[in-house]
Amino acid sequence: MSDSFAHWMAAIRLRTESALDRRLPASATAPARLHEAMRYSTLGGGKRMRPLLCHAAGAALAADARALDAAACALELIHAYSLVHDDLPCMDDDMLRRGRPTCHVEFDQATALLVGDALQALAFQALAEAAAPSCQRRLAMIALLAQAAGARGMVGGQAIDLAAVGATLTLEELEFMHIRKTGALIRAAVLLGAHCGEADDAALVALGHYASRAGLLFQIVDDILDAEGSTITLGKTAGKDAARNKPTYVSMLGLSRARELAATLRAQAQEALCACAFDTTRLARLTDYIADRTF
């Protein structure tokens, strides 16, 4: 990774942390415990993959930085809420997240439930109150994020995931699930960035195609890391999908063919970027980062 790209990633993570910090309610104001738990679950950790994708797409189209900060905030708030709810005992029942106790372990289940609910509302508020882009664009962004987060997107994918425990899926069914569960929000990250840059339809189509490949790549790498990684490196419980008898790319294809599929998706994602008439260097670098990451 070049120094300047690493520097850019660090800068985006820093400004996203700062934007989230400003957007989240202060832990000194009532209800303090809720606010503290919201901050605990959102700040100080995470790869900030979605903000990085959003900024990379937006910067290529000369987007307003305030718009990108708002979009990055909204994406990360949705992502953080989904992790808090996903870790609850009635879902994945996980104790460890980003190397720390999960929200319901550190606080309690009721607080974790409310934290997720409040973070989701705050995500849409962040977009609605953003200083840019145009009103029309912001409405399109809100509709896009809501769809990506909802029953036809992320939450729908989680519902399919629940039903898949112990079941036998085809590769197509596994892909159908992941396109929703993780793919929808990754796609939204790229497209929100593009909207911030007032992207035209051709750019949205090309970036949408890129994002769908990058989203599946992200998931398959997650499956590979879960299968071969350690809990300490990942900062979350490793091997849990296999332990819960959940179908993954690795359980269905084996490690070797899963790695081959990852290589194919990586090539397809990079190819999709070639169709873009603007500088996609950062998106290309992020694709490599997604493919080569070890945590």
Residues that bind a copy of itself (CB under 8 A): 25, 30-31, 33-35, 38, 81-82, 85, 88, 90-91, 108-111, 113-114, 116-118, 120-122, 124-125, 127-129, 134-136, 138-140, 142-143, 146-147, 149-153, 155-156, 158-160, 162-163, 176
How many whole angstroms separate alpha carbon 127 and alpha carbon 137? Answer: 10
Nearer to a copy of itself, 31 or 99 (CB): 31
Closest CB to a copy of itself among residues 13, 39? 39
Q: Least distance (Å) from a copy of itself to the CB of residue 51?
A: 19
Which lies closer to a copy of itself via its Cβ, residue 243 or residue 263? 243
Please identify, using beta-carbon distances, which residue of 1 and 32 lies nearer to a copy of itself: 32
How near is the Cβ of 285 to a copy of itself at its closest, in Å? Answer: 31
Q: How far is CA 21 from CA 26, 40, 79, 212, in A?
A: 9, 11, 16, 30
CB–CB of 242/73 below 8 Å?
no
Smallest distance from the beta carbon of 250 to a copy of itself, in angstroms? 23
Between CA 32 and CA 210 the distance in angstroms is 42
CB of 180 to a copy of itself, least distance (A): 9
* Alpha carbon separation from 81 to 31, 64, 166, 228 (Å, rounded): 18, 26, 26, 27
Q: Which residue has the tokens 């979350």?
A: 236
Smallest gap from Cβ 2 to a copy of itself, in A, equals 38
Measured from the CB atom, the residue of 146 and 204 that comes closer to a copy of itself is 146
Residue pointed to by tokens 């209800």: 31
Dist CA 153 CA 216 (whole Å): 14
